[in-house]
Chains A and B, each alone.
Chain A
Amino acid sequence: AQSVTQPDIHITVSEGASLELRCNYSYGATPYLFWYVQSPGQGLQLLLKYFSGDTLVQGIKGFEAEFKRSQSSFNLRKPSVHWSDAAEYFCAVGLMDSSYKLIFGSGTRLLVRP
């Protein structure tokens, strides 16, 4: 069965420090891959997506993610975190069968120390 694992429930970083959020997936083919961010009480905002091609994907707000097929991973990175980045981050897999379902990980809550 398809699944998405975000092994870190919480991560705390200092403002200005670099960030990496981990995401691993289980799927029989190369899926579409997404990262979403959710601020408290808000909806899901798309940060970036990978469909094909260059495995390093640039997104909004200075985020990037790298698809590694051999590791079934799609980790999210940011070189310098801002206090406004504090939120919950969700990795998702888009199935490439006829359903196009999005399967979400359990999320990682990012806390930013001043």
Chain B
Amino acid sequence: DAGVIQSPRHEVTEMGQEVTLRCKPISGHDYLFWYRQTMMRGLELLIYFNNNVPIDDSGMPEDRFSAKMPNASFSTLKIQPSEPRDSAVYFCASRTPGQGYTFGSGTRLTVV
């Protein structure tokens, strides 16, 4: 398995634009998590899915943020419209029973 794959690695966009971050989890996972990392707030859990179903999105900062998991192999995190304060590194992680959690390399988002 190639691990958790996130794309793009870097994204620079203008304020007001829509941004879509992508994640391909490890096969056999049961949970998928989206985290955001900033200097001020550290690693924050945004939303997580169990068997492709969103369970808790209480960490999503605003309605501008949305996430989907249309199948077990793919998830997206969308920000529309983006704002400079959304600049951060966004991580996707999948949990595999008995093995723990594997993180992707992250997407560094810069909103100018």
Contact = CB atoms under 8 A, between A and B. Distances in A.
Interface in A81-114: 90, 94, 98-107
Interface string A15-51: 0000000000000000010101000011111100100
Interface range for A: 20 to 34
B43 A34 contact: no
Contacts of B19: none
Given A104-B42, A107-B42, A43 B101 contact: no
A43 B91 contact: yes
B42 A100 contact: no
Nearest to A49: B100
Chain B at the A interface: mostly helix, strand, loop or mixed?
A: strand
Contact of A102 (B33, B55, B104, B106): B33
Contacts of A100: 31, 95
Contacts of A49: 100
Interface range on chain B: under 10, 10 to 19, 20 to 34, or 35 or more?
20 to 34
Nearest to A46: B100
A41 B108 CA distance: 9
B106 A99 contact: no
B105 interface: yes
A102 B101 contact: yes
A46 B104 contact: no
Contacts of A107: 42
